[in-house]
Amino acid sequence: MRAAAFTDLVGPDGVGIVDQPAPDPGPGEAVVDVDACAINRHDLWILQGDSAMVDADDLPFVSGLDVAGTVEETGPGVTGVDTGDRVVLCPNETCGTCRFCREGPENMCENFSLYHGGLAERALVTADRLVPIPEQMDATTAAALPTAYTTAYRMLQRADVAAGDRVFVPGATGGVGVATVQLCDGLGLESVGTSRSAAKLDRVREAGLDRGIESADVDEIREAVDEPVDAVINHLGGEYSELGQSVLRRGGRMVVCGRTAGGVSEFDVADLFLQHKRIVGSTMGTQPDLERLVQFVADGAFSPVIDDTYPLAETGAAFAAMENRESVGKIVVEG
């Protein structure tokens, strides 16, 4: 079978189409005939050689977390899914025995890791991580949901938001950013988002953004957010964390999941304790979160924003679009 593998960790030019043996499912596993796999900044970090998880010894490396397709074969002992079922993968890999696996939420598992392998014609997965796709939903729509939307959904829960709250979303045009805006819209929250591109902000407005700030200058953005916000959903890190803290109201919450703009941030200690603010870390969501999101989409609550789709052979171009900050919402590779 063909796979779009990372053959060199140099960015989008390092993606090559390779031939690999067809996977053979072991106990508890299933082979999914991949119809769609969304890409995430996480894959791009790996491709750029900026992830501790993958180095030159691991090449060729097949990334891709957000797999949707049809079950082609199941291994011994699999009961939950059958050949021919249309499914989307929850990419969480958990140990099942630690305190967080037992008490929840499972995304806090002490041995948490992520599935990789969706950028291929077939994916070998853990069968009980497969969520059924409703009949009326296409695979590309389903593939948009697992990483970006469950992460945003869980971050909003961690931010203790309530209808009417004002939520600041620096970088509102990417996967997690647009997901946050759409969920805010559905939950009756007011969203204030940023981008360096006015044209991209216009497209996010169509997806429910209440207020867009076109700027990449944190001081300018601070000025433009003229009223304090109840919550900040921060996937950028770097100087955007200080910005986020400074625009929070007394008792406000900032939830952080990423480091696109920098892995180190400073925070104002006195402002934090005197203003009773909270800064919270969060990673991914739970499989039930994904199940709920699939249902929300099936019920017509929202439809994930998909910027563009690329055939497997053009996976490098898909990553170039992400790297060049050209896209709004999700980028999906179709098998």
Distance between CA 271 and CA 238 in Å, rounded? 18
Phi, psi of 227 (to 5 degrees): -115, 140
Per the CB < 8 A criterion, the answer to whether 139 and 221 are in contact is: no
Which residue from 70, 187, 142 is spatially nearest to 295, judged by alpha carbons?
142
Contact residues: Zn ion, CB under 5 A: 94-95, 98, 101, 109
User: Min. distance of Cβ 105 from Zn ion in angstroms?
Assistant: 11
User: Min. distance of Cβ 267 from ligand NAP in angstroms?
Assistant: 18
The site partner of 101 among ligand NAP, Zn ion, none (C-beta below 5 to 8 Å per kind) is Zn ion
Tell me the window of 98-106, 127-135, 169-177, 246-254 that interacts with ligand NAP (CB under 6 A).
169-177
Residue with Cβ nearer Zn ion (72 or 106): 106
118 is an interface residue for ligand NAP by CB under 6 A: no
- Member of 69, 91, 118, 171 binding ligand NAP (CB under 6 A): 171
Which residue from 328, 2, 58 is spatially nearest to 193, judged by alpha carbons?
328
Residues 232-261 that bind ligand NAP (CB under 6 A): 235-236, 257-261
Distance between CA 179 and CA 4 in Å, rounded? 26
Distances (CA, A) of 188 to 181, 198, 208, 305, 335: 11, 24, 10, 19, 36
User: Min. distance of Cβ 129 from Zn ion in angstroms?
Assistant: 14
Distance between CA 5 and CA 119 in Å, rounded? 7
- Member of 195, 286, 287, 315 binding ligand NAP (CB under 6 A): 195
Distance between CA 72 and CA 114 in Å, rounded? 22
Distance between CA 192 and CA 232 in Å, rounded? 9
- Member of 7, 283, 301, 321 binding ligand NAP (CB under 6 A): 283
Tell me the window of 61-69, 143-151, 223-231, 308-316 that interacts with ligand NAP (CB under 6 A).
143-151
Which residue from 167, 71, 128, 181 is spatially nearest to 288, judged by alpha carbons?
128
Residue with Cβ nearer Zn ion (94 or 265): 94
User: Min. distance of Cβ 92 from Zn ion in angstroms?
Assistant: 10
Q: Which amino acid is at 310?
A: Y
Distance between CA 59 and CA 326 in Å, rounded? 28
Structure tokens at 112: 């948490």
Residues 8-67 that bind ligand NAP (CB under 6 A): 40-42
Residue with Cβ nearer ligand NAP (23 or 258): 258
161 is an interface residue for ligand NAP by CB under 6 A: no
User: Min. distance of Cβ 176 from ligand NAP in angstroms?
Assistant: 4
Per DSSP, helices labelled H in the chain are 41-47, 99-103, 139-143, 146-158, 175-187, 198-206, 218-224, 239-247, 269-274, 287-298, 315-323
Residue with Cβ nearer ligand NAP (86 or 203): 203
Residue with Cβ nearer Zn ion (94 or 151): 94
Using CB positions, name the residue nearest to ligand NAP: 174
116 is an interface residue for ligand NAP by CB under 6 A: no
Per the CB < 8 A criterion, the answer to whether 130 and 80 are in contact is: yes
Site size toward ligand NAP (CB under 6 A) is 28
Residue with Cβ nearer ligand NAP (74 or 194): 194
User: Min. distance of Cβ 287 from Zn ion in angstroms?
Assistant: 13
Residue with Cβ nearer ligand NAP (195 or 315): 195
